[in-house]
A and B are shown apart, each in its own frame.
Chain A
Amino acid sequence: MEDPTAAAKSTLAQLTLTDAPSTSARDRTLALAGVLDARGAAVFAAGVRKRLPSKKGKLVLDLSALTAIDSAGTATLVDLWRTGHRRGVAIELAGVQPAVQTELEQFRVTVELPPPATIPGFFESLGDTAWGAVTALGNFMVLAADVTIGGIQAFFTPGRMRWATYFREASLMGSQAFGIVGLITFLIGLTLAFQSAYQLRQFGAAIYVASLTAISMVREMGPLITAILVAGRSGSSITSEVATMKVGEEIDAMQVMGIPFVDFIAVPKVLAMVTMVPLLTMLADLLGILGGWLVGMVYLDIAPKPYLQKTIDALVTKDLVTGLFKSVVFAWGIALIGLYHGIGVRGGAQEVGKATTASVVSAIFFIIVADSIFSIIFYVVMG
């Protein structure tokens, strides 16, 4: 540690900075002499920064020998004050001469006041996090219950349903996603067939490519890939739309006009998703199988009819039903997660982007976890 009494002098153009004796080991005193102006400000700032005491210490700048200061010198002092404030170091001025003080009084600055909140301890933070998670889960469950009940009511009282909104959403989620879902699942089917053909040909069992592709697509890949694509495309769109409405106070406006958000916005979106995703999944199953069929014909020289027959033989009703059931659950989850993240937004446009990202990540996580659970239930427990 430096001896505070040592005279570590640094001479600037017209300014001298000297270490002076201090009353406490934690504190430090620096004496300035001469003129603090634009020519010496940068070197002065660097010299002071090097000598800033550790956290909770104090730095006293003795200005009794400082004869003048200009705006650049004043700005440098303010900048040092802010640096010290951030680090918890108090910077004080002593022995200020009238000419210098007059200069310091004529410039005004805007200062952020220190936040009143105290830093929470470990257990407090843990408790806050746990309580936040419980509250978030509770809010999600309330939204899920409201939307599900609203959806069921819409079936029994179709007059309540906003059909125009439903059909617009269904068109956006369904017909406009047709191309991308079809193309991706066709390529997935094609890839699956290629990968399995490489192994199965070695055992003279190339015809089983048809069974493998069909079962993989209908049970797993069709619902899964469709759901992931819909989460990225329509789930994010739900979040950004609802979040933008929240930021623009449109949701508040609905509330004060006595127009229920659940009936007006949520139910049409969830029902559109729940009806469109299974249809897209059927399309995905079909095109995935078509991709495999193409590989069978072109790469494995299997005639179309035996390939198709093997596909039909391999599939059972349970595969189709469980695949479609999964797609309904995925759709319900994607729509609810999209709504939940959208309605939870506070702040401005930046938060809309964050909520959209969080929504897509949460939806994909939900899809994977739910798919794993279904795999265990349908194919391990139920056989």
Chain B
Amino acid sequence: MTDAPAILEVRGMIVRYGARTILDGVDMTVQQGEIRVILGGSGSGKSTLLKGILGLTDVAGGKATMLGQELTGLSEKARGLLMQRIGVLFQNGALFGSLTVGENVALPLREHRKLPEGAIAELVRMKLAQVDLGHAENLYPSELSGGMRKRAGLARALALDPEILFCDEPSAGLDPLTSAELDNLILTLRDRLKMTVVIVTHELASIEAIADSLIMVGGGKVIAEGPMAEVRGRGIVAVDEFFARKTKTAAKQEMSVADLFGLTPAKGGA
């Protein structure tokens, strides 16, 4: 995996919301064909990193190179063409509520592919079958369950056969079975289509099932990056705490009442 060419490189990315610095010089390299997981506690900046890469938030510094093209300074037309080579699965699917599932999947095809309507209809059915949603073509997003909405969002993200798939919290809010099904789907995409997948998540089961490599962000900086087994073997406290489900969020902290009052532990105490 490490010999594969880099398909996405982020160098020194800085993102600020007002006076708050969310990302403070983040570096990341993703190689072709790998499943890279971006992890971290709530408020650590992992979703912001994804938004920064996709150009969905203003970046105060640094640069990102994707599929050989530097994103900063790219003309609108060139960016549009580049975006056709990527797919994004948003947290809740981000389906257009006024369109049926089929129309949602057809939308990028109608926008960017000069295909006859019959071919578009066939492609839509193929993409929906790929995510096991063939029966839902004429349903509206409001008629779908959470898991179905995500799979429909995935079908739309796959509509243009992207080279990189970005997923924002794909397992969030799903039951373990549905979550595992989605994980299997992502693994299939990587194995059969050699797709590169970048996933933002903090679901341990998902991370352990699918991640080839991971990058952990916290306090706006990279805490660790590398192949899954290697990062977990380094003995980094934040990584170990994360996998032991002890990650602290940026805004809240759990502690004992004795800690709250700064009392030193009693001998033989809890």
Alpha-carbon gap, A78 to B111, bound state (A)? 58
Q: Which of B55, B90, B260 contacts A253 (CB 8 A)?
A: B90
Residues of A contacting B56 with CB < 8 Å? 252, 255-256
Say if the beta carbon of B68 comes within 8 Å of chain A. no
Given contacts A93-B263, A101-B263, A250-B94, contact A108 B83 (CB under 8 A): no
Alpha-carbon gap, A29 to B130, bound state (A)? 70
B107 contacts A259, C-beta separation under 8 Å: yes
Residues of B contacting A253 with CB < 8 Å? 88, 90, 94, 96, 156
Q: Which of B20, B112, B252 contacts A258 (CB 8 A)?
A: B112
Say if the beta carbon of B118 comes within 8 Å of chain A. no
Question: Would you list which residues of chain A between 204 and 260 have a CB under 8 Å from chain B?
Answer: 244-245, 248-250, 252-253, 255-259
Q: Which of B86, B95, B254, B255 contacts A256 (CB 8 A)?
A: B86
Given contacts A98-B266, A256-B56, A259-B107, contact A106 B96 (CB under 8 A): no
Residues of B contacting A92 with CB < 8 Å? 261-262
Residue of B nearest to A81 (CB): B260
B258 contacts A256, C-beta separation under 8 Å: no
A256 contacts B83, C-beta separation under 8 Å: yes
Residues of A contacting B266 with CB < 8 Å? 98, 101-102, 105
A81 contacts B261, C-beta separation under 8 Å: yes
Stretch at the interface among A109-117, A272-280, A367-375: A109-117
Question: Would you list which residues of chain A between 259 and 312 have a CB under 8 Å from chain B?
Answer: 259
B255 contacts A249, C-beta separation under 8 Å: no
Against B, the Cβ 8 Å flags (1 = close, 0 = not) of A74-90 are 10011001000000000
Q: For this complex, into which size category does the number of interface residues on chain A fall?
A: 20 to 34
Say if the beta carbon of B84 comes within 8 Å of chain A. yes
A113 contacts B263, C-beta separation under 8 Å: no
For residue A31, give the distance in angstroms from its CB to the closest CB of chain B.
16
Residues of A contacting B51 with CB < 8 Å? 252
Alpha-carbon gap, A258 to B269, bound state (A)? 60
Q: Which of A77, A108, A117, A248 contacts B20 (CB 8 A)?
A: A117
Q: Which 6 A-B pairs have the closest CB atoms?
A: A253-B94, A258-B80, A249-B94, A104-B258, A105-B258, A249-B90
